[in-house]
Structure 1
Amino acid sequence: MKNTGWHIIIFLALVLVLYSCTGQPARKTVREAFSDSLVPQYADKFRIYFTPEYTVFRVFSPWQGGKSTTVEYMLANNAASLPVDAVRGRIVIGTPVKHVVCMSTTHVGILSALQLDSSIVSVSGTRFVYSATIQKMIQEGYISEAGYEGSFDFEGIARLKPDLIFAYGIGPEVTSWYARMESLHIPVVYLAEYLEEEPLGRAEWIRFIGRMMGVPQKADSFFFSVRASYLSLRKLAQNNTPQPVVMTGLPWKDAWNVPSGNSYTARLISDAGGIYWCSDLTARENYELSIEEAVGKAFDAKIWINAGTARSLADIKNTDLRLAAIPAYRNGNVFSNTARIGPG
């Protein structure tokens, strides 16, 4: 008669290999194969890949100067059952995503466009939100103030138990600001839409957020509608002759920061039928001009837009008397975006 004791020992050993000390089945190691993908038509800084079990979101260069950085997120219903190779190095987000924190008011606008106002539980800079619906939710206590970089309300955010935080980064130091939130097991999703140079590239980020929030069809419908309107207006603007030179901004102290001629601002003005006043500055970073340099360039401009926080010609003149000599100022062709502002 054969001794079956060794067979039992070998069997139990195999069971122990297959199960961890927590009783969870060991994850399989398999080669990842995506069944489909979303490659944006205009945006450069994200890609989305699909499998039947999960979705992978890749964000490239998520902050200024982060060209070699890629952050990956995995959206899954049951991440514990996924292959270990699929999870490794990725920030896992469980589905469905119901409650979010917005660290930029622009993200509030995107969620509102998707009719997801009720998903917002906290916002950084609540006083700068214009939406009457969101302001009502803030006043009634449904949306809290999240605080700012360096002074986040960590305890308040933790009590809300959000499914994720939509964040943005000016530089690599942003990772240290959000490290504590990640230590609380709150996924931080970096959105790089503000770094897109194509205007429609910025708009296309609604497709990223829409898929993360579980409303891809609604996001696509909104984006394609915006794209159709934008392209129609751009075509109409190309018939605008002669094309006026357009200047932007307002100095801060003794410096005038201007986007480069390759920037989102320059392309937006070009698409609208204008010529950007600093089109000769071709680097990708912003430039800092002296007021004398800026005023010299401004003498060719027929139109002045986005004049900082100024709400009147008097505000511009009070900033610096030299600005009153600019032709666009003298002709009253100054247009700003302060007609609709929040309580802040």
Structure 2
Amino acid sequence: MKLKILVLFAAWTLIGCKREPKISSADWTSISGRLQYREADQKLELKSGNFTYSIDENKFPFKKIVLLNASMAGYITELGAENAIAGVSSPEYIYSEKIQQLVQQGKIQDVGNEQKYNVEKILALKPDAILTNYIASFDNTYQLLKNNGIQVIFLDEYLEQQPLEKAAYLKLFGKLLGKIEEAEKKYQEIEQNYKSLKKEAAGTKEKPVVLANEMYGDVWYLPGGRTSSARFITDAHANYILQNNTDEKAVTMSFEEVYAKAGSVQYWVNAGNHVSKKEMLSINPLYSRLNVFNNGKIYVITGRERQKANDFFESGVVRADVVLKDYIKIFHPSLFPGYRLTYMKELP
């Protein structure tokens, strides 16, 4: 389970986002530089990364979909549209209780995992669409599904580095699932909360220094200065040690390089899913040399974890406001009296 979470978190910070030019037409709904859509000539025209789609309006709302990525479940549950899911891959990594209940009841089918999808089962479900991140090694599988008349839509929300743009994918899910008004209302709530929280944090006097992520082997993968992780830290009114970096992907450093920058660090966040400092040291004794390890506070992302599933990578993808509130509460503990962290947890 730990390996799975570490890989997910590494992917979340390792992969950068190359921005596509935005479409300027006023009738397009622009989610980000990567995602735009509009209704034209009784079709939904969609541009997602390098892929474009033109889907007949009479296909909507989708009543039966297959999800091949657990992160997309967060958008579905936020809209209360779990009953539209006919199949999921690797259901053991999905946190949603409602989805898990539907899996147990046989109403949602397990269609394989990222090593091998069960194409026969997917075809038997006859879904209106499959929603997935694009993985080049599965091109043959995607083509087989398309050849059998199944709409395959690639949505690479994990590449987005602006928290609110990632949350705004909710609008597209609302369109696909016939919950446009609900999606717009939910997104406006998230956006307003986020901006209000950011403003409140900016009014605090303290601006602590922050370290993020951890080592894998001999390399420390720190979020680049323009990744979503770095933006959360900055918006929570803290100084990230690489805040002046301009990368939208992870920056690799040796322990010594991090050590040289981390002398004044007060908080260490996103430190994997460890259960104690003792366990961290058993994996990497070098951590004991860090001042923040001995005198600061360390936070892991296991506040909502159940067996192999971690809600940080699910509802946390959508609820940027709640993630930001966690960070603000960590860096400015006097704010929000009585608030308990949602996705984060202090390491004992």
Matches of 2:143 and 2:261, distance apart in 1: 43
Match of 1:285 in 2: 249
Match of 1:197 in 2: 161
Match of 1:233 in 2: 197
CA 1:281–1:138: 2 relative to 1, 3 Å: same
Q: Which has the higher contact order (CA 8 A, sep 6+)?
A: 2
The reply on whether 1:147 has 2:112 as its aligned counterpart is yes
Deviation of 1:199 after TM superposition, in Å, equals 0.9
Paired residue secondary structure (2:28): strand
Match of 1:320 in 2: 284
Contact 1:121 1:144 (C-alpha < 8 Å) held by counterparts: yes
Match of 1:224 in 2: 188
Identity %, equivalent residues: 26
Match of 1:31 in 2: none
The reply on whether 1:97 has 2:86 as its aligned counterpart is no
Matches of 2:26 and 2:232, distance apart in 1: 36
Match of 2:333 in 1: none
1:98-137 equivalent positions in 2, closer than 5 A: 98-137=63-102
CA 1:216–1:107: 2 relative to 1, 3 Å: same
Match of 2:132 in 1: 167
Deviation of 1:297 after TM superposition, in Å, equals 2.7
Please report the RMSD computed on the Cα atoms of aligned residues, expressed in angstroms: 2.0
Deviation of 1:55 after TM superposition, in Å, equals 1.6
Match of 1:75 in 2: 55
Q: 2:38 aligns with which of 41, 49, 55?
A: 49
1:194-343 equivalent positions in 2, closer than 5 A: 194-343=158-307
Matches of 1:169 and 1:252, distance apart in 2: 25
Matches of 2:306 and 2:107, distance apart in 1: 18
Deviation of 1:156 after TM superposition, in Å, equals 1.5
**Residue deviations 1:95-135, cap 9 Å, x none?**
33111111221211110111101111222221121222111
**Residue deviations 1:30-54, cap 9 Å, x none?**
xxxx9933133xx221111212512
How many matched pairs? 284
Matches of 2:147 and 2:299, distance apart in 1: 45
Deviation of 1:162 after TM superposition, in Å, equals 1.2
The reply on whether 1:183 has 2:147 as its aligned counterpart is yes
Deviation of 1:292 after TM superposition, in Å, equals 2.7
Match of 1:3 in 2: none
Structure holding more helix per residue: 2
CA 1:257–1:165: 2 relative to 1, 3 Å: same
**Residue deviations 1:147-166, cap 9 Å, x none?**
23341111121111111111
Deviation of 1:145 after TM superposition, in Å, equals 2.3
**Residue deviations 1:279-336, cap 9 Å, x none?**
2432333222223323333333211111112122222112201112222221351111
- TM-score, normalised by the number of residues in structure 2: 0.76
Matches of 2:145 and 2:204, distance apart in 1: 50
Q: Structure 2: any 5+ residue segments left out of the alignment?
A: 1-24, 309-348
Matches of 1:151 and 1:200, distance apart in 2: 32
The code of the aligned residue for 1:54 comes to K
The code of the aligned residue for 1:58 comes to K
Matches of 1:182 and 1:201, distance apart in 2: 29
Flag the structure with larger Rg. Answer: 1
- TM-score, normalised by the number of residues in structure 1: 0.77
Q: Which moved more, 1:322-331 or 1:154-163?
A: 322-331
Match of 2:315 in 1: none
Contact 1:295 1:323 (C-alpha < 8 Å) held by counterparts: no
The code of the aligned residue for 2:153 comes to V
Matches of 1:328 and 1:144, distance apart in 2: 45
